[in-house]
Chains A and B, each alone.
Chain A
Amino acid sequence: MTDVTIEFRDVSKRYGTLVANDHLSLAIRKGELMTLLGPSGCGKTTALRCLTGYIRPDEGRIFIDGQDVTDVPTHQRELGMVFQNFALFPHMTVQDNVGFPLMIRNLSKAERAQRVAQALRLVRLEGYESHYPRQLSGGQQQRVGLARALVYRPKVLLLDEPLSNLDAKLREEMRFEIKEVVTRLEITAVYVTHDQAEALALSDRVAIMNRGRLEQVGTPEEIYEHPQSRFVAEFIGLSNFLEGYVQAVDGDTMVVSVGGLQMRIPVLAEAGPGQRVLLFLRPNEVELLRPDDPGGANVFDARVEKVTYLGDTLDYRLTFGQGLTLRVQSDAQRRFGQGAPVRLRFPRVRCWAITGN
């Protein structure tokens, strides 16, 4: 319990009838990089604003370092924040932007200058002190934003989609830079993004949000390997979903009927015969075989509907069984043309059944 830095306890926030945060409960450990991941409009920024105090939750409490800060005004919460649109002060130089939090805290000029220099070194922006924000590139502006957020050594660093306004190449570079700074300073960080690749690459843990609610919290591996809902599975990457029902349970495998075909998959503890299940197949975890390759368990005949060339992979749209469609991505070594018959193999371990929705 003592290693928890931030806690959302049953936090709700409504805008009229719209529920932006719906009974959010989340504990973030000391030194951890926690990502709030979810589609745009799911309430991530609202959650961060509850944390900064910029908005007050309708219900629930917020704790920082064990202290209930729900009623503490924003400026006393000792947080650092990086914004999607940088939110630098346009009328101030880089020096004054980064020095602003220190100026507000009445630090002496000498101490301010020294700490600003230190922060700028951290984000590799020495020499830009007298530039104005509009004279900098997007990436440089965001580094200034990061330096400003870190300069007074806040308890927690908040980042609200800090890379969304940068171009793709720079985004990947900055991703690792942010990760490195956060790790080096051993600071607790809450990172908000709608980009699942970013979340998986950066985070110690990921909290997936959907329509104001938490769907699942876990390490990137847990989230990727064991999505607990269709929403999480879909959000975390391209997916195929096949609906079927359990025909029989046989030891540690069960037979699932899907579109007139029988698939054998590892048994689900809660699933007896007749139980409806949702099978979940990643497009890169299906094997494409030639039609004359030998059959076997979980091998089915299929037909290529459409092929799209994606450079090092080919993207197939296949039909099989009774009206089942499937997307498969495979390497470009073995090619099948449109209309060609193929065989599919679903390696057993890569099939999950998801109950409910």
Chain B
Amino acid sequence: MGTRTADMMRFWRTHASRLITLFLLLPALAGFFGLFFYPMLLTVILSFRPEGQAIGWTLENYTRFLADPDGRWVILLTFILSLGGTALSVLLSVPLALILREKVRGHRFYRLMVLVPLVVPGLIGALGLLLFWGTRGWFNLFLLQFVPFVQRPVAVNYTMHGLIMFYVWLYFPYTCITTLSSLESLDRSIEEAGEVSGATRWQVLRHIVLPLITPGILAGSVLTFMAAFGAFSVPLIAGGNYRPLAVEIYKQISVPIPARWSAASAIAIVMGVLQVIFLSLYMRFVRRAGGTGGPS
């Protein structure tokens, strides 16, 4: 009996600090479960409930959405928009980062400009873009005024290419900033060595710089992709008939009366699963691309 008490005392002495830490963490853990885990669990459960009922299980919410050609188009559209936006962001970011790393006059200002889309709230950005690119916006006014052979305004708003362009404007900074930071971590003397070895600037870019910054570009493009995949406010107000998953979910709970919470939950789960699957494939690809540098 005495030895057991002694054991407990020893246990307490050796683990006291950890036990106290655990105790102090309890409210945070409760908060985490309450705020994060519980709503997720609720969404999962709701997605398997018959619409509008508090009991029973069904797969109907999923089958209805996935069997419907419109539902599948929403998924395809979401990928087209986010992947298209990501690809164009890469194409824009690489040359831009190459320019920004040269300490040209005013480079600090240009760097700040790249950050603007990140700090401007998406909604305001989208409204501004709509105004700028509208049929009576500055873009078309300029075209009609100064470019010959343009008789009619060019449609940008509410078109697919217009929406992709808005995505690029809003989400390319993630790619651009990571590309720039991996460019700046490069040792410039490596490029000097390439040039002295007989390579032109282009060859240095192709054989040395691009392979070395590819992991950075891909890592940044993951962020752009995630942001674009989950984009909501921009396609909501600037997408017209093009409604990606996030907007579709919103539509389920805002348009019909009563709101279709179970259908919305099922689409949300589909969206989450697709995102996780795609991201894990992408990350595997990124690791392999980053691994061309040989064993590490």
Whether the Cβ atoms of B193 and A132 lie closer than 8 Å is no
Contact A80 to B196, CB < 8 A, known contacts A87-B189, A91-B212, A91-B294: yes
A83 to B189, CA, bound (A): 8
**Contact (Cβ within 8 A) B200 A75:** yes
Output the least CB separation between A254 and chain B (Å).
Answer: 52
CB of B187 within 8 A of CB of A87, answer yes
Q: For residue B293, which residue of chain A has the nearest CB?
A: A91
Option from B189, B198, B203, B294 in Cβ contact (under 8 Å) with A93:
B294
Contact B198 A105 (CB under 8 A): yes
Residues in A with CB closer than 8 Å to B198 are 75-76, 78, 101, 104-105, 152
A100 to B292, CA, bound (A): 17
Question: Is A52 a contact partner of B292 (Cβ separation < 8 A)?
Answer: no
Pair A83/B293 contact, Cβ less than 8 Å: no
Residue contact A87 to B197, C-beta cutoff 8 Å: no
- B207 on the interface (CB 8 Å rule)? yes
- Quick check: A89 and B194 within 8 Å, CB to CB? yes
Determine how close the nearest CB of chain B comes to the CB of A227; give it in whole angstroms: 33
Of the residues B187, B189, B196, contact of A79 by C-beta under 8 Å: B196
Flag if B196 contacts A54 (CB, 8 Å): yes
Within 8 A of B (CB), among A129-183: 132, 134, 145, 148, 152, 158
Chain A positions 60 through 88: 1 when the CB is less than 8 Å from some CB of chain B, otherwise 0 = 00000000000001111111110111011
Residues of chain B from 183 to 203 with CB closer than 8 A to chain A in the complex: 187, 189-190, 192-200, 203
Task: Check A90/B196 contact, CB under 8 A, given A100-B207, A132-B293.
Answer: no
Complex partner residue of A87 from B192, B200, B293, B295, CB under 8 angstroms:
B192
- In the assembled complex, which residues on chain A have CB atoms less than 8 Å from the CB atom of B207? 100, 103-104
Q: How far is the CA of A40 from the CA of B212 in the complex (A)?
A: 30
> From DSSP, what is the main secondary structure of chain B's interface residues?
helix
Chain A residues lying within 8 Å of B296, measured Cβ to Cβ, are: 134
B195, A89: Cβ atoms under 8 Å?
A: no
- Check if A83 sits within 8 Å of B193, measured CB to CB: yes
Residues of B within 8 A of A49 (CB): 192
Of B193, B212, B296, the most chain A CB neighbours within 10 A belong to B193
B211 in contact with A91 (CB, 8 Å) = yes
State the total of A-B contacts with C-beta under 8 angstroms.
76
Bound together, the chains give a CA A170 to CA B192 distance in angstroms of: 26
The answer to whether residues A81 and B200 also contact, given A89-B208, A100-B207 and a CB cut-off of 8 A, is no
Q: Find chain B residues with CB under 8 A from A75 CB.
A: 195-200, 203
Number of interface residues of A (CB under 8 A): 32
From 282 to 330 in chain A, residues with beta carbon under 8 angstroms from any chain B beta carbon are none
Query: Could you tell me the distance between the alpha carbons of A199 and B154 in the complex, rounded to whole angstroms?
Result: 69
Q: Are B294's CB and A148's CB within 8 A?
A: no
CA distance A78 to B196 in the complex (A): 7
A197 to chain B, nearest CB (A): 25
Task: For the complex, give the distance between the alpha carbons of A132 and B295 in Å.
Answer: 8
Closest Cβ of chain A to B184, distance in Å, is: 16
Contact B292 A91 (CB under 8 A): yes
Q: Are B190 and A89 in contact (CB under 8 A)?
A: yes
Contact B197 A101 (CB under 8 A): yes
Q: Report the minimal beta-carbon distance from A54 to chain B, rounded to whole angstroms.
A: 5
CA distance A250 to B155 in the complex (A): 101
Distance between Cα atoms of A85 and B192 in the complex (Å): 12
B203 contact set on A, CB distance < 8 A: 75, 104
| Residues of chain A lying within 8 A (CB to CB) of residue B212 | 90-91
Chain B neighbourhood of A152, CB < 8 A? 197-198
Question: What is the CB-to-nearest-CB distance from A154 to chain B, in angstroms, rounded to a whole number?
Answer: 9
Contact B190 A87 (CB under 8 A): yes
Contacts of A90 in B (CB 8 A): 190, 212, 293
In the assembled complex, which residues on chain B have CB atoms less than 8 Å from the CB atom of A100? 194, 197, 199, 207
Q: How far is the CA of A90 from the CA of B190 in the complex (A)?
A: 9
Whole-angstrom distance between the Cβ of B212 and the nearest chain A Cβ: 6
Q: State the CA gap A156–B136 with chains docked (Å).
A: 64
Q: Which residue of B lies closest to A52 (CB)?
A: B196
Q: Which residue of A lies closest to B211 (CB)?
A: A91
- Report which residue of A76, A84, A91, A145 has the largest number of chain B beta carbons within 10 angstroms of its beta carbon: A91
**Whole-angstrom distance from the CB of A20 to the nearest CB of chain B?**
16
A74 touches B293 (CB 8 A): no
A88-116 vs B, Cβ < 8 Å mask (1 yes, 0 no):
11110100000011011100000000000
| A-B contacts besides A54-B196, A75-B200, A104-B197, 20 pairs, CB < 8 Å | A52-B192, A74-B195, A74-B196, A75-B195, A75-B197, A80-B196, A80-B197, A85-B187, A89-B190, A89-B193, A89-B194, A90-B190, A100-B197, A100-B207, A101-B198, A103-B207, A105-B198, A132-B294, A145-B193, A148-B197
**A residues engaging B (CB < 8 A)?**
49, 52, 54, 73-81, 83-85, 87-91, 93, 100-101, 103-105, 132, 134, 145, 148, 152, 158
Top 9 A-B pairs, shortest CB-CB distance: A101-B197, A87-B193, A87-B189, A132-B294, A74-B195, A91-B293, A81-B196, A104-B198, A104-B199
